[in-house]
């Protein structure tokens, strides 16, 4: 259970700025850590617990306890091999290690960020230029470590960023015009001017 919780924490809860930490998540983290240390203590402490009321257990052979209950029933408790006690911790470490390796893998965007990209220097139609500018902004955000997944749509990406930046007017404008350029293929002069202005302000932040 602890391994599963840690896997969820590492794979989803630690993205930089992807989600604001909630009180419930903090409490779950504390409980998980406490449970982990309790499990370690139980592993190191090999005292046998009494399962029934009675005269107590008497060790007869290595690894086994011969116990006579108050009703005269004989019960033999045999210790499991050490590997059975270590197995949950091995699984825990494997899950945590796998999750950490996945978190360290840097998500690459389809284009490389170009801090010097300007609308005037780009080739193609106005719509094609706006598409390139939008992708350059996204590449810059990815380069700075902000959340991004290839499976997200451009609107889902903006929504995730909105949890970090309350004011995303420029990105919203550029995203809207990018969508129009991508699917309609034509932009008005007003669209191009608005996209250029928003792009320049975003690039001032990314440079």
Q: Which two tokens stand for residue 198?
A: 């928003």
Of the candidates 40, 35, 22, 128, the one whose C-alpha atom is nearest the C-alpha of residue 89 is: 40
What is the rounded distance in angstroms from the CA atom of residue 19 to the CA atom of residue 9? 11
pLDDT at 189: 93
If asked whether residues 7 and 100 sit together in one domain, one would say: yes
Is-contact 110 77, C-beta < 8 A? no
Reply yes or no on whether the pLDDT at 137 is more than 50. Answer: yes
If asked whether residues 6 and 93 sit together in one domain, one would say: yes
Place of tokens 């590492």: 10
Is-contact 105 117, C-beta < 8 A? no
If asked whether residues 90 and 17 sit together in one domain, one would say: yes
What is the rounded distance in angstroms from the CA atom of residue 11 to the CA atom of residue 81? 33
- What are the Cα distances from residue 88, in Å, to 3, 6, 30, 152? 8, 13, 19, 35
* Structural domain boundaries, residue 179: 126-206
If asked whether residues 91 and 175 sit together in one domain, one would say: no
81 versus 198: the higher-pLDDT residue is 198
Q: Identify whether 33 is part of a domain.
A: yes
Residues 144-173 have pLDDT tens digits of: 888 888 888 888 888 888 777 767 889 899
What is the rounded distance in angstroms from the CA atom of residue 197 to the CA atom of residue 189? 12
Is-contact 9 29, C-beta < 8 A? yes
Number of domains in the chain: 2
Q: Identify whether 119 is part of a domain.
A: no
Q: Could you tell me what percent of the chain has a pLDDT over 70?
A: 55
Q: Name the average pLDDT for the chain.
A: 72
| Cβ within 8 Å of residue 163, ≥6 positions away | 17, 18, 19, 20
Which of 50, 74, 104 delimits the end of a domain?
104
Which of 69, 104, 139 delimits the end of a domain?
104
């Amino acid at each position: 259970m602890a391994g599963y919780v840690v896997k969820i924490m590492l794979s989803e809860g630690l993205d930089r700025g992807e989600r604001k930490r909630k009180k419930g998540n903090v409490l779950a983290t504390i409980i998980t850590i406490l449970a982990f240390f309790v499990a370690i203590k139980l592993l190191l402490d090999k005292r046998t617990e009494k399962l029934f009321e009675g005269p107590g257990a008497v060790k007869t052979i290595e690894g086994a306890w011969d116990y006579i209950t108050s009703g005269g029933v004989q019960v033999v408790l045999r210790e499991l091999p050490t590997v059975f006690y270590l197995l949950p911790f091995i699984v825990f470490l494997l899950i945590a290690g796998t999750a950490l390796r996945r978190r360290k893998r840097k998500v690459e965007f389809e284009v490389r960020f170009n801090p010097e990209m300007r609308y005037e220097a780009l080739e193609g139609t106005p719509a094609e230029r706006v598409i390139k500018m939008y992708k350059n902004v996204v590449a810059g955000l990815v380069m700075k470590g902000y959340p991004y997944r290839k499976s997200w749509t451009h609107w889902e990406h903006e929504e995730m960023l909105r949890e970090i930046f309350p004011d995303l007017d420029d990105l919203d404008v550029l995203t809207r015009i990018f969508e129009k350029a991508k699917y309609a293929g034509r932009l008005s002069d007003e669209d191009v001017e608005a996209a250029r202005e928003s792009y320049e302000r975003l690039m001032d932040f990314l440079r």
